Amino acid sequence: MVSYLFLSSSSILFWFSLFLVLLFTTTTNALVKLPENITIPAVIVFGDSIVDAGNNDDMITEARCDYPPYGIDFDGGVATGRFSNGKVPTDILAEELGLKPSIPAYRDPNLKPEDLLTGVTFASGGAGYVPFTTQIAGGIPLSQQLKYFEEYIEKLNGMVGEERTKFILKNSMFVVICGSNDIANDFFGLPTVRLQYTVDSFTALMADNARSFAKSLYGYGARRILMFGAPPIGCVPSQRTVAGGPTRDCVVRFNDASKLFNAKLSGNIDVLSRTLLDSKLIYVDIYSPLLDLILNPGQYGFKVSNLGCCGTGLIEVTALCNNYTSAVCPIRSDYVFWDSFHPTETAYRIIVAKLLDRYLSRIV
């Protein structure tokens, strides 16, 4: 006689959820050792091209790069839409935490349901804290990235139930990297914007919008939130070419704008973190480690820090960096920058290692 064990729908959901969690959160060996009682189940990402993994691939926009030579060193030379030769910072972060080899784009048509459990990126090339910034390049604004995040939460609820979803949101690492486009493309790129704002008022607007975004994430259940500052935008190759004069020096006024925004963002995040209970809301300084690589490339094994690897290295980015008109440097690890705006995977690995060393103990 055969006996059958009948389970309620809630029991089935519990065991299915447990199976998914065990199956898909132990696939990569962690390089970073967390305290025994600490769990980071996922890395969830918002922002701009620095951490976009292909969300713009099906859009009519200048801010896309789903074609060679982008991705030349990524997973066998696949151009996924990452704005680099290989992995981007949040891919490396997920790898270091032992979650998975890379963080996929939420809008990737080949996204697997199980990828939701360990994190996705909603980031979009061209995005900024000021809504008009995103309109310039035609990316996905932060407001829409949040709407996609709402969809993500609903999908998680359907997969693993409400309680496990709350656990994932509470314990995951949320990464927000944005602001470069606001400064380079909006404020300094459009004279009409400088008629409406001073650099002080514009960076204040950016920082206030960033604070509101962080508060929104908290409202959805996020508790570990890393808010990245702006890089030394005046020292990236394209900006040196456009505004650095005959000798292509770092553009001081651009860097000053980044530092002003960073000071305002840091202050906003510090105040906000004191008002949000049970939160670990942290400002992350990306300006200093990247500037160190640019000013002292030899100390890190680089040979070139004022040009991109793609083409002449002066101005090529997105469509100008292509297999038809742009040769690629043979040794990408010699360069801090891949194209004229985005660093190489080698540079990102050094920066991520520095940031983990400085901030990991505060976020866990």
Q: Give the residue numbers marked as catalytic.
A: 49, 339, 342
Query: Closest Cα to residue 42, out of 153, 156, 174?
Result: 174
Secondary structure (H, E, C), 2-40? CCCCCCCHHHHHHHHHHHHHHHHCCCCCCCCCCCCCCCC
Helix locations, 139-281, DSSP H: 142-171, 180-181, 191-196, 199-219, 237-243, 252-275
Question: Residue 283 corresponds to which tokens in the numbers above?
Answer: 């400002």
**Which residue shows structure tokens 């030394």?**
232
**Coil, strand or helix at 74:** coil
Cα-based distances in Å from 327 to 76, 308, 310, 319, 323? 19, 11, 6, 13, 7
Give Rg (Cα) of the chain: 21
Cα-based distances in Å from 116 to 12, 29, 104, 109, 245? 20, 19, 9, 13, 46
Cα-based distances in Å from 260 to 34, 282, 334? 34, 18, 31
> Do 106 and 122 form a contact (C-beta atoms < 8 A)?
yes
